[in-house]
Structure 1
Amino acid sequence: MRAFREAVEAGDLDAVEALLAEDVVFSSPVVFKPYPGKAITAAILRAVSQVFEDFRYERALTGADGRDHALVFRARVGDRELTGCDFLHVNEEGLIDEFTVMVRPLSGAQALAEAMGARFDRIVEDAEARSTGTGVSP
């Protein structure tokens, strides 16, 4: 998904959010229960953009029907290197309706879980502000 990759690489999180379907479901690499909805998914992606350092996509794969995409990335969380993949599915309107992230190794996943866990209250506040239209938390 070229538009998504370009938006992420440019740090344009508003453009990333615009590519999400309202009913998108985000599956985290470190939490069992998926997160449904555009507001929470956008808030998670904004937070992870602050957690990941030296983030870069290395490969993009597209399914035969053009609706399934895999974007392989590398990043760092503190002193932990990790490799991961964003698995995206787009709906008939071309918006992302499924977003699954996987990362390795375990030490990288643990560093990511710790860093995101420390921000989770703020992520929820951001999502609530987005979903109610009361503005985005700074």
Structure 2
Amino acid sequence: MRAFRAAVEAHDLDAVEALLADDVVFTSPVVFKPYHGRAITAAILRGVARVFEDFRYERAIGDAEGRDHALVFRARVGDREISGCDFLHLDESGRIDELTVMVRPLSGAQALQAAMAAQFERIAEEAQARSGG
């Protein structure tokens, strides 16, 4: 999805959030249970933007007119290189209703998990503020 990729690459997290459906389901590469809702998903993506360094998309896979897309990326967390993929599904209105992220290698996923755990309190606060709570 071009709009999502462009917003991520521009570090425009408000634009990323605007592309999310209210009932989006985010599946993390390092947490077992998925997260539900725009506020928590947007807060997680803001946390990811804080911990990923040298993030870049390398290619897009999928039908430009279809509802399923995959964006292959590379990044660094601390001294660990990560490669991964964002899998996006769009609802009937063109908003992202499913976002699944996968990363490798295991050492990179572990570095990501540790970095995101350190962001957890801030993520929870941002999600609460965005949901009006």
The separation in 1 between residues aligned to 2:96 and 2:30, in whole angstroms, is 20
Who is 2:99 aligned against? 99
Identity of aligned residues (%): 77
- 2:29 aligned counterpart, secondary structure: coil
**Compared CA separation, residues 128 and 58, structure 1 to 2 (3 A):** same
Q: CA RMSD in A?
A: 1.1
Alpha-carbon displacement from aligned partner over 1:53-84 (angstroms, at most 9, x marks no partner): 00000010114861000000000000000100
- Would you say 1:34 and 2:69 are equivalent positions? no
Who is 1:61 aligned against? 61
TM-score (norm 2): 0.97
Show structure 2 runs of 5+ residues with no match: none
Count of paired positions: 133
Who is 2:77 aligned against? 77
Deviant stretches of 4+, over 6 Å = none
The separation in 1 between residues aligned to 2:14 and 2:65, in whole angstroms, is 27
Question: What letter corresponds to residue 88 of structure 2 in structure 1?
Answer: L
Question: What letter corresponds to residue 47 of structure 2 in structure 1?
Answer: A
Alpha-carbon displacement from aligned partner over 1:20-75 (angstroms, at most 9, x marks no partner): 00000000000000000000000000010010000000010114861000000000
- Would you say 1:50 and 2:50 are equivalent positions? yes
The separation in 1 between residues aligned to 2:29 and 2:68, in whole angstroms, is 18
